[in-house]
Structure 1
Amino acid sequence: MAYLMGLDIGTSGIKALLIKEDGQIVSSQTEKYPLHTPQAGWAEQNPADWWEATLKVISSVVKDSGVEPAGIKGISLSGQMHSSVFLNKDMKVVRPAILWSDTRTSRQCQQIYDRAGGLENLINYVSNPALEGFTAPKILWLKDNEPANYQQVSLVLLPKDYIRYHLTGEIFTEVSDAAGTLLLNVKEKKWSAELLKKLDISPEILPPVIDSIDIAGRISKNIADKTGLKQGTPVIAGGADNACGAVGSGIIQEGRVMVSIGTSGVVMAQANKPTADKQGRMHLFNHAVPDNWYMMGVMLSAGMSFNWVKEKLFDDTIDYDRLNQLAAAVEPGSDGLVFLPYLYGERTPHADANARGVYFGISGKHEQGHFIRSVMEGVTFGLRDSLELIKAQGIKTEEIRAIGGGAKSQLWQQIMADIFGQEICLLNIEEGPAFGAALIAGVGAGVYDNFATAESRIIKISKRISPVEENVAHYNKLYNIYQNLYPAVKDNYRELSKLN
């Protein structure tokens, strides 16, 4: 029996997962680390905290599992996208890592558009718009604001690539994470020489790019001594957290769509061809599956909106089960109450940091259950925005797989089926990016012939929720109203932000 390890370097902590080759979880360990916000809108972490936590979780998993180290045939990594680790010529960290959620780089995003010659040219270069979270504007911010630190920079790595370097001593990135830097030619899987030249960023500070399933090094003797792993264990390149989440959900062929309702919301579909959205409303990234891509829309406040209702509009005695009961007692459509889920701005399809939440259509008949259900419906309408954009690109959406905390609610499952007008599928396994990383390790180490083999053995549909035809018709009419609301208040959002 072969064993595989997946590591996920997240924002709140690192998770290590050890599975058998049949997908059975043997051990799972998590170690948290701090997030620093030295100024409003900033988000930073100390890469040394990631590394210390990595050593702890690997050691804990090896010890807890009781598995012989030689039985672990491969290790792979998932990591938070976009976050930047700046290293000097001695491979020492120059300053704290600037994370994906950091929003200090608005001016640098505009610089990128200006130097690239506009959105259309930027899409041609790297298939994505310039957003504050991406890596490229962080590099420009460092150059503009901390020139002494910038002069020291010899290499820029993403979080999982930094950890993999410490495990193996080898320097690489891979296509799915590199795609999120805004510096990769996504279609050709190589750094965009044209954009790097226009941004005056040296290609020498960027690591070599390999495929997600390539061997990117092996566990060194020093690390073997510290963790209990076997020296020489292959470390597979891995993937960005969203790509690994897709692998772990079986999104490995066109026609399958993943809808995730966590704190944020994600709609992702595999694409056989790299066709970017010319208006930059959707992301196009390289998949962990070789020579494949995925199109993705991101909603900033999905489960966060539901949590906001609980925390801000109710007292501490109410739980999520009771919220679901109150919402379920309300008819589909919430008696005309519509919610815009833009509590902290939005990314897809409206890249608008000024956007804010709206309850539209409030009347005297609306009660607590209406306000809860309309949040669930509004979030799902927002996810449908991304789904419709994916369809408009000609990508098939034959099967929708729902994951995340929101997908555990039976009511929300039905709301998704009715608003999307399609069957919703739930899976037998939902372990997130660390599980996908373990499957990538299996493919890269030769335990599985390919992703299709792994998926057919491990990932199964456990439940199907069909749409109710009457509800679909009603929600289609309500969705038209929902779509008209943002354009109607867009200018007012901008004016409101000035007042605040």
Structure 2
Amino acid sequence: MGFFLGIDLGASALKACLMDATGRPLLTARASYDTHHPQPGHSEQNPADWLAAMHSALAALRHEQAEAYEAIDAIGFSGGAHIGVLCDGAAKPLRPAIMWSDQRAHKQATALATSGEAAESVEDIAGNAPNATWTLPQLIWLGAHEPDIIQATEKLYFAKDWLAAQLIGVSAQDHHVTDPTEAVGSLMAGRDNKWHDGLIALSGLSATALPHLVDIGSMIGMVSPGAAAAFGLPLVPVYQCAIDTSMEWLC
């Protein structure tokens, strides 16, 4: 009988759940990390802390359920929505990740929402009213306050997808992916399920920096030999899953 591994990147902790073939949880392990507030209204996390938490949680599962852990058949990731990780070409983060709870971009969001016809177009295209938790206002804020970061960004990941890439390997462009539940809160045209050139232009990023859009349930790669050695995992498929609020509908 096979087993499945689900990894959820939460607001304050990573949870790793080992399940049997029916979806029955066998064991859950968690590892916490800090949220930093360098200025009032700012909320950031260090992606390296997520990776360390994944090491810790998976080590706990392996220790307690070694036989099932070694028989894992597939892995999936979930997490909080539209937490952008701005990276260089090797998927190395260029700065801490701005969290969904961050409010620094409230002025940028208000400007998008109150600038007449353009604002109506943004909401109509995206299917979301601009607000400070949305990726686009955050990217506009970075363009104004940290322009070197925007210019240096070669890959925009979202948090759960960046973590998945650490298991798959980050060298192949095919592994730079996300799903519609993530993209709809960033730069995707909601009606068309594809990135929108106008929203990309507002963000300041190059279109080549955006991840490929794939369907939920798609196999996005295999655990790499390096990750297998580091985490004690078998060489099994990793599947694209959705943001946490969407995954809750399955529970």
Tell me whether the two structures share a fold, i.e. TM-score over 0.5. yes
CA distance in structure 2 between the aligned counterparts of 1:208 and 1:119, rounded to whole angstroms: 26
8 Å CA contact 1:125, 1:194 repeated in 2:
no
Cα-to-partner distance string for 1:141-192 (whole Å, 9 max, x where unaligned)? 11100112222111111110110111102211111111122x1112221111
Cα-to-partner distance string for 1:335-391 (whole Å, 9 max, x where unaligned)? xxxxxxxxxxxxxxxxxxxxxxxxxxxxxxxxxxxxxxxxxxxxxxxxxxxxxxxxx
8 Å CA contact 2:33, 2:53 repeated in 1:
yes
What is the match of residue 236 of structure 1? 239
CA distance in structure 2 between the aligned counterparts of 1:78 and 1:55, rounded to whole angstroms: 16
8 Å CA contact 2:3, 2:69 repeated in 1:
no
CA distance in structure 2 between the aligned counterparts of 1:200 and 1:13, rounded to whole angstroms: 31
1:45-84 to structure 2, matched below 5 A, reads 45-69=45-69, 71-84=71-84
AA in 1 matched with 2:17? L
CA distance in structure 2 between the aligned counterparts of 1:68 and 1:78, rounded to whole angstroms: 21
What is the match of residue 22 of structure 2? 22
CA distance in structure 1 between the aligned counterparts of 2:41 and 2:202, rounded to whole angstroms: 27
In structure 2, the CA distance between the partners of 1:200 and 1:87, relative to structure 1 (3 Å rule), is closer
Question: Which structure is richer in relative contact order (CA contacts within 8 A, separation 6 or more)?
Answer: 2
AA in 2 matched with 1:237? Q
CA distance in structure 2 between the aligned counterparts of 1:199 and 1:176, rounded to whole angstroms: 19
What is the match of residue 249 of structure 2? 246
8 Å CA contact 1:168, 1:220 repeated in 2:
yes
CA distance in structure 1 between the aligned counterparts of 2:43 and 2:90, rounded to whole angstroms: 25
TM-score (norm 1): 0.47
Residue 198 of structure 1 deviates from its aligned partner by 4.9
CA distance in structure 2 between the aligned counterparts of 1:197 and 1:38, rounded to whole angstroms: 28
What is the match of residue 184 of structure 1? 188
CA distance in structure 2 between the aligned counterparts of 1:40 and 1:200, rounded to whole angstroms: 25
Cα-to-partner distance string for 1:8-60 (whole Å, 9 max, x where unaligned)? 00110100001112232111000000110111111001000001111221222
Segments of 5+ residues of structure 2 without an aligned counterpart are: 170-174
Aligned partner of residue 30 in structure 1, secondary structure: strand
Aligned partner of residue 67 in structure 2, secondary structure: coil
Cα-to-partner distance string for 1:259-296 (whole Å, 9 max, x where unaligned)? xxxxxxxxxxxxxxxxxxxxxxxxxxxxxxxxxxxxxx
AA in 1 matched with 2:227? I
The question of 1:214 aligning with 2:221 is answered no
CA distance in structure 2 between the aligned counterparts of 1:19 and 1:242, rounded to whole angstroms: 20
CA distance in structure 2 between the aligned counterparts of 1:119 and 1:150, rounded to whole angstroms: 23
CA distance in structure 1 between the aligned counterparts of 2:240 and 2:116, rounded to whole angstroms: 30
CA distance in structure 2 between the aligned counterparts of 1:43 and 1:31, rounded to whole angstroms: 19
AA in 2 matched with 1:51? L
CA distance in structure 2 between the aligned counterparts of 1:188 and 1:62, rounded to whole angstroms: 42
In structure 2, the CA distance between the partners of 1:178 and 1:196, relative to structure 1 (3 Å rule), is same
Please tell me whether Structure 1 or Structure 2 has the larger radius of gyration of its CA atoms: 1
Segments of 5+ residues of structure 1 without an aligned counterpart are: 249-500
Aligned partner of residue 36 in structure 2, secondary structure: coil
CA distance in structure 2 between the aligned counterparts of 1:5 and 1:151, rounded to whole angstroms: 37
Moved more, 96-105 or 70-79: 70-79
AA in 2 matched with 1:108? Q
In structure 2, the CA distance between the partners of 1:67 and 1:128, relative to structure 1 (3 Å rule), is same
In structure 2, the CA distance between the partners of 1:171 and 1:198, relative to structure 1 (3 Å rule), is closer
In structure 2, the CA distance between the partners of 1:180 and 1:198, relative to structure 1 (3 Å rule), is closer
CA distance in structure 2 between the aligned counterparts of 1:3 and 1:205, rounded to whole angstroms: 35
CA distance in structure 2 between the aligned counterparts of 1:125 and 1:116, rounded to whole angstroms: 14
AA in 2 matched with 1:89? G
CA distance in structure 1 between the aligned counterparts of 2:215 and 2:157, rounded to whole angstroms: 16
TM-score (norm 2): 0.92
AA in 2 matched with 1:171? H
AA in 1 matched with 2:128? N
CA distance in structure 2 between the aligned counterparts of 1:176 and 1:73, rounded to whole angstroms: 25
8 Å CA contact 2:85, 2:157 repeated in 1:
yes
CA distance in structure 2 between the aligned counterparts of 1:165 and 1:81, rounded to whole angstroms: 17
Aligned partner of residue 19 in structure 1, secondary structure: strand
CA-atom RMSD, angstroms? 1.7
What is the match of residue 287 of structure 1? none
CA distance in structure 2 between the aligned counterparts of 1:70 and 1:117, rounded to whole angstroms: 56
Residue 116 of structure 1 deviates from its aligned partner by 8.1
AA in 1 matched with 2:243? A
In structure 2, the CA distance between the partners of 1:142 and 1:116, relative to structure 1 (3 Å rule), is farther
State how many pairs are aligned.
246
What is the match of residue 108 of structure 1? 108
What is the match of residue 145 of structure 1? 145
The question of 1:98 aligning with 2:98 is answered yes
8 Å CA contact 1:116, 1:195 repeated in 2:
no
